[in-house]
């Protein structure tokens, strides 16, 4: 049990570390533990900016839109809306690279646009023995060569795409040529994604003439560029940042290497270590955890590299033990049962949160994969239009759907309706909207109203959707051509899921998030063995679990296969983590 005096001392020490980080001079690297207030420190540093009109601004760069919105919101709440506008910049790394290192060198026509992914437009790779959407082919940039090269990341294909490619008569080489040909035709029409933004940014910075046109404006615009969650930088991102640093742009990187969970996307913990040593020979450290209870700090320490002591819990004195829930996991679906009572695992978790007076609405349920989670099923990335629409319908009718899911649902409905109303038109929804002077509000309202009007999906849903599409009042400029744009086939209807009033999301979507209570579902046999014996330096799965448990403020619960509960209890008790098997 921590004494009040210890808590006061810990808080003062953590505040001093934060103040030092707020005052640090660029270039610098700040290394932080979970809940250290990275985002808080970065925004506070920005809020110290003087009121007068500045010639130079600061760029605050994050990896997620959630983090971006959080920083912008804090500035506005502090009455400093000026700090969200030019000359400042608050945004994702993709948008920063695009805005300052790619777009200035693109022709104005066709208008260059950065898409979140190729899935935002209908971009099929055609001319092979099967049609596969461009977004199903993840791409990689290798910055290690003098001329950076890009390739299709064949080892990262999802299961369905791999099956399709394996069954194709064409070789990977032939596919790769077609994929790049398709991609080029979209780039020629002005469309790019984060991958192209990286590749072109790197190319531009390595090309003396291009760099000479881009770097001076960037240096005169920004007195400082801060990158949050720097542990998620890919090798290409780091190569770009290195070049900016070498060109004299004052950089501050803030990161937590223990939370590096994007190795599969090319994140490079080792490359970050050497770059950060270049920026700050002795890094500035933030070791006070402003989020989690001492018990949760101890739990987290069992999942990270080295034998470092737990971080110091700065603001909490809860002593709720880690709750271990013996669980019978469903082989498919998410109807997992609490083994001793037979209750649904989320329902049982809810009764425990009540027992500890932790409000259920401030709790979240998480797992490595979407398939493990209750609540609405995830939009499968590579399905037919009718199945996507069925997912969109479920999302639009689901009270717990996230803003991101609703945006995606709306985009799907727009795509389906536009496919019917504007059949001959190439280009994504925004070029169709521009061509017919349609506002985003008008289009989104129409799409949502249409989604809401549809009956719940079932096997014979297709004809009903088609009738509804034909009957729906069309937007200006619509010129349907017979059956073009009719969504074919039957939807794969996701089973209705038990509603839960708790937020649910996969761990990779929880970066930067927090909740009073967190239930982590570990359905795989051998998880406890992995916890006990794997090394977080090399086993990213442990780091992913680390991110999950460090989202919790007061209560962490872990559901494991019932036969592994005792082993986990022993493991944690042996590491001085108080547990309760419930
Ligand atoms: N000095 C402070 N005073 C009060 N609350 C703070 C302070 N610093 C941070 N916090 C709070 O601690 C919590 C964690 O902060 P933040 O989300 O910025 O951490 P983080 O370092 O980005 O964490 P993570 O990397 O684990 O997502 C937030 O609720 C934040 O408001």
Nearest CA to 43 out of 66, 68, 7, 26 is that of 68
Helix pair 385-396, 403-421: axis angle to 10 deg: 140
The answer to whether 389 and 416 are in contact (CB under 8 A) is yes
The phi-psi region of residue 401 (left if phi > 0; otherwise alpha if psi is between -120 and 50; otherwise beta) is beta
**Beta-strand pair 113-114/312-313:** unpaired
Distance from Cα 37 to the centre of ligand 1, integer Å: 3
3-state secondary structure of 459: coil
- Closest Cα to atom 15, ligand 1: which residue? 37
- What is the C-alpha to C-alpha distance for residues 242 and 276, in angstroms, rounded to an integer? 10
Q: Which atom of ligand 1 is nearest to the CA of 32?
A: 21
The answer to whether 87 and 96 are in contact (CB under 8 A) is no
Supply φ then ψ for residue 71, to 5 degrees: -65, -45
Residues with CB under 6 A from ligand 1: 15, 18, 32, 34-40, 256, 259, 290-291, 512, 514, 550
**Beta-strand pair 288-289/312-313:** parallel
Give the residue numbers of the binding site for ATP.
Answer: 32-39
Distance from Cα 75 to the centre of ligand 1, integer Å: 15
Distance from Cα 28 to the centre of ligand 1, integer Å: 20
Q: How far is CA 235 from CA 145, 202, 218, 265, 574, in A?
A: 12, 11, 22, 10, 38
Q: Where are the alpha helices (DSSP H) in 422-564?
A: 429-435, 440-453, 461-471, 527-533, 540-549
What residues of the chain score a pLDDT lower than 50?
495-499
Q: What is the pLDDT of residue 203?
A: 96
- What is the C-alpha to C-alpha distance for residues 163 and 179, in angstroms, rounded to an integer? 17
The residue to mutate among 22, 78, 291, 314, having the most atoms of ligand 1 within 8 angstroms of its beta carbon, is: 291
Task: Please spell the DSSP secondary structure of 173-202, one letter per residue.
Answer: HHHHHHHHHHHHHHHHTTEE-HHHHHHHHH
The answer to whether 576 and 1 are in contact (CB under 8 A) is no
Q: Compute the C-alpha angle 68/73/76, nearest 5°.
A: 130
Token code pair at residue 152: 């299709």
The answer to whether 544 and 286 are in contact (CB under 8 A) is no
Give the residue numbers of the binding site.
Answer: 32-39
**Beta-strand pair 337-338/322-328:** antiparallel
Q: What is the pLDDT of residue 469?
A: 92
- What is the C-alpha to C-alpha distance for residues 531 and 544, in angstroms, rounded to an integer? 12
- Closest Cα to atom 23, ligand 1: which residue? 35
- What is the C-alpha to C-alpha distance for residues 497 and 399, in angstroms, rounded to an integer? 12
Only one residue has tokens 């200006």, namely: 476
- Give the H or E element holding residue 284: strand 284-286
Class of domain 294-375+498-581: alpha beta
Q: Which atom of ligand 1 is nearest to the CA of 39?
A: 18
- What is the C-alpha to C-alpha distance for residues 125 and 173, in angstroms, rounded to an integer? 14
The answer to whether 45 and 76 are in contact (CB under 8 A) is no
Token code pair at residue 447: 């799409």
Strand partners for 156: none
Strands (E), 337-462: 337-338, 363-367
| Superfamily of 4-102+199-289 according to CATH | P-loop containing nucleotide triphosphate hydrolases (3.40.50.300)
Q: ipTM score here? A: 0.97
- Give the H or E element holding residue 569: helix 565-574
Q: What is the pLDDT of residue 405?
A: 76
Q: CA dihedral defined by 264, 269, 274, 278, rounded to 10 degrees?
A: 100
The answer to whether the 4-102+199-289 and 294-375+498-581 domains have the same CATH topology is yes
- What is the C-alpha to C-alpha distance for residues 217 and 106, in angstroms, rounded to an integer? 16
3-state secondary structure of 25: coil
Token code pair at residue 240: 């770009």
Nearest CA to 310 out of 23, 580, 570, 578 is that of 578
- What is the C-alpha to C-alpha distance for residues 48 and 515, in angstroms, rounded to an integer? 28
Distance from Cα 576 to the centre of ligand 1, integer Å: 25
Cis peptide before 110 (omega within 30 of 0): yes
The residue to mutate among 40, 229, 230, having the most atoms of ligand 1 within 8 angstroms of its beta carbon, is: 40
Distance from Cα 511 to the centre of ligand 1, integer Å: 13
- What is the C-alpha to C-alpha distance for residues 468 and 462, in angstroms, rounded to an integer? 10
Residue spans of the domains in the chain: they are 4-102+199-289, 117-192, 294-375+498-581, 385-471
For residue 179, how many other CB atoms are within 10 A of its CB? 20
Q: Which residues contact 372 (CB under 8 A, 6 or more apart)?
A: 329, 334, 336, 521, 523
Q: How far is CA 380 from CA 135, 409, 459, in A?
A: 12, 12, 17
Under DSSP, the state recorded for 565 is H
- Give the H or E element holding residue 556: strand 552-561
Q: Compute the C-alpha angle 455/459/463, nearest 5°.
A: 60
- Closest Cα to atom 5, ligand 1: which residue? 290
């Amino acid at each position: 049990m921590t004494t009040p005096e210890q808590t006061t001392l810990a808080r003062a020490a953590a505040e001093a570390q934060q103040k030092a980080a707020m005052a640090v001079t660029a270039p610098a690297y700040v290394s932080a533990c979970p809940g250290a207030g990275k985002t808080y420190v970065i925004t506070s540093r920005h809020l110290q900016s003087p009121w007068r009109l500045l010639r130079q601004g600061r760029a605050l760069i994050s990896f997620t839109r959630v983090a971006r919105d959080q920083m912008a919101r804090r500035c506005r709440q502090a009455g400093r809306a000026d700090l969200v506008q030019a000359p400042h910049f608050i945004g994702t790394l993709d948008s920063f690279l695009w805005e300052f290192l790619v777009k200035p060198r693109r022709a104005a026509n066709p208008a260059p646009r950065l898409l979140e992914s190729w899935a935002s437009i209908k971009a099929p790779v055609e001319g092979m023995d099967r049609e596969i959407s461009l977004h199903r082919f993840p791409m990689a940039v290798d910055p290690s060569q003098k001329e950076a090269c890009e390739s299709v990341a064949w080892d990262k294909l999802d299961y369905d795409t791999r099956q399709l490619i394996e069954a194709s008569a064409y070789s990977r080489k032939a596919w790769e040529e077609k994929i790049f040909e398709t991609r080029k035709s979209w780039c020629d029409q002005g469309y790019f994604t984060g991958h192209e933004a990286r590749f072109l940014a790197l190319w531009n910075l390595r090309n003396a003439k291009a760099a000479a046109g881009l770097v001076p404006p960037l240096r005169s615009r920004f007195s400082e560029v801060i990158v949050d969650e720097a542990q998620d930088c890919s090798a290409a991102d780091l190569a770009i940042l290195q070049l900016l640093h070498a060109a004299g742009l004052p950089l501050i990187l803030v990161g937590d290497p223990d939370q590096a969970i994007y190795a599969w996307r090319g994140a490079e913990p080792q490359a970050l270590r050497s770059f950060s040593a270049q920026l700050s020979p002795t890094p500035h450290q933030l070791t006070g955890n402003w989020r989690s209870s001492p018990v949760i700090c101890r739990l987290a320490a069992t999942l990270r590299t080295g034998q470092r002591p737990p971080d110091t819990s700065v603001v909490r004195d809860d002593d709720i033990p880690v709750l271990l829930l013996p669980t019978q996991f469903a082989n498919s679906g998410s109807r997992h049962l609490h083994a001793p009572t037979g209750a649904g695992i989320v329902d049982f978790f809810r009764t425990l949160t009540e027992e500890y007076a932790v409000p259920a609405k401030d709790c979240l349920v998480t797992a490595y994969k979407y398939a493990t989670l209750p609540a609405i099923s995830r939009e499968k990335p590579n399905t037919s239009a009718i199945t996507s629409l069925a997912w969109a319908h479920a999302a639009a009718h689901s009270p717990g759907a996230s803003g991101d899911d609703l945006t995606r649902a709306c985009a799907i409905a727009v795509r389906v309706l536009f496919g019917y109303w504007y059949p001959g038109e190439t280009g994504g929804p925004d070029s169709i909207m521009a061509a017919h002077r349609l506002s985003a509000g008008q289009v989104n309202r129409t799409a949502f109203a249409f989604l809401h009007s549809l009956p719940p999906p079932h096997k014979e849903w297709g004809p009903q959707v088609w009738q509804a599409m034909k009957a729906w009042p069309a937007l200006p400029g619509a010129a349907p051509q017979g059956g073009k744009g009719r969504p074919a086939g039957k939807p794969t209807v996701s089973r209705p899921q038990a509603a839960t009033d708790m937020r649910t999301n996969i761990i990779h979507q929880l970066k930067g998030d927090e909740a009073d209570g967190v239930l982590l579902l570990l359905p795989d046999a051998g998880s406890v063995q992995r916890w006990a014996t794997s090394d977080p330096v090399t086993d990213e799965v442990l780091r992913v679990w680390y991110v999950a448990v460090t989202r919790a403020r007061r209560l962490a619960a872990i559901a494991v296969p019932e036969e592994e509960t005792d082993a986990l209890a022993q493991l944690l008790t042996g590491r001085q983590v108080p547990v309760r098997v419930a």
